[in-house]
Amino acid sequence: MQTRLYIHAHRAVRGLIEGEYRSVFHGRSMDFDDLRPYVPGDEFKDIDWKATARYGSPLTKRYIASRKHTVVLVVDTGRDMAALGASGEVKRDIAILAAGTIGYLAIRHGDLVALVAGTSKATQFVPGELTEAHLERILQRIHTATRLDGAKSNLTGQLEYVSRMFRRRLVVVVIGDDRPLADDEQKLVRRLAAQHEMLWLTIGDADLMRADWSRREMYDVADSSGVPSFLRENARLRAAFEESVVATAERSEELFESLSISSRRVTDQDSVIPGIFRLLEAHKHARR
């Protein structure tokens, strides 16, 4: 399963969003490398005017890239993420594909990839490395840790860990459940956004009132309580659920936009690649 996800990301990102990643996580040192002919889009400040005069046409200075950002994947591995998502797929599997795609892009770009993951009981930290084998181990850890019989989700605990442990500016990519942030969580996210560059990917919750699930036994993974079929078939409750989903998404979007945190909601594995493309595009144009 992990290999399939990894290969899927490997093939999809090469032509689709690698360029967007490069435009978002840009960086270079001041170490001069060589000269090359000017091409549209080059910075005018990089034109070597003396060499241009000698050569007869514009020449641009090239520098040795100094990328080496650290991209920290903050992933909820509590049992809420072992539940079904909006598409009927397990949210954990969608999270793994998203983490694998972002991680692969980072490594291809020369950036380190680290992991902060956990539950209400513990937070795990995997230091950043620059190999695909390291990324594969991260994905395996997410998969193994996210279980229906695991501890409750507590993404706040993982965000607090990032706030306490990292002072140097990082690129923080949060992959979490579809829920509103409480007031204390909003304050924490505000502090983190002031210190780090943040992107947020939300995985949509299951619609328990879907008609094709009407005969399936359903329960809440948070407390194992059953959800009676007569409640799931109630038209008024269904309307209230749909309104709640829209309201939660709008509140989260407003919060993230106010903090210049680029965010995206995905509902299935098919929406991960285009969702990440739009996430990176939004981040590129965000006010920072």
Helix (H) or strand (E) segment spanning residue 222: none
pLDDT, tens digit, 9 for 90 and up, residues 33-68: 678 888 776 778 889 999 899 889 999 887 654 457
pLDDT at 31 over 50: yes
Q: Kindly provide the b/e burial profile for residues 23-52, where b requires at least 16 CB atoms within 10 angstroms of the residue's own CB.
A: ebbeeeeeeeeebeebeeebeeeebbeeeb
CA distance 147 to 150: 5
Q: Summarize the confidence of residues 246-274 as an average pLDDT.
A: 86
CATH, residue 95: 3.40.50.410
Question: 251 and 174: one domain?
Answer: yes
- Is the separation of the CB atoms in 106 and 113 below 8 Å? yes
21 domain residue, yes or no: no
What domain range includes position 52?
A: 29-63
Question: 94 and 149: one domain?
Answer: yes
End-to-end CA distance of the chain: 38
Question: 115 and 50: one domain?
Answer: no
Question: 196 and 252: one domain?
Answer: yes
24 domain residue, yes or no: no
153 domain residue, yes or no: yes
| Domains held by the chain: number | 2
Does residue 40 sit in helix, strand or coil? Answer: coil
- Is the separation of the CB atoms in 70 and 170 below 8 Å? yes
Q: Which whole-number Å values give the CA distances from 98 to 35, 120, 149, in the listed order?
A: 38, 22, 23
Q: Summarize the confidence of residues 264-277 as an average pLDDT.
A: 93
- Is the separation of the CB atoms in 287 and 261 below 8 Å? no
How many Cβ atoms sit within 10 Å of the Cβ of residue 184? 9
pLDDT, tens digit, 9 for 90 and up, residues 168-186: 889 999 999 888 888 889 9
Beta bridge partners of 197: 171
Q: pLDDT value at position 275?
A: 93
Question: 49 and 129: one domain?
Answer: no
CA distance 28 to 43: 13
Q: Which whole-number Å values give the CA distances from 215 to 82, 86, 193, 234, in the listed order?
A: 21, 17, 44, 14
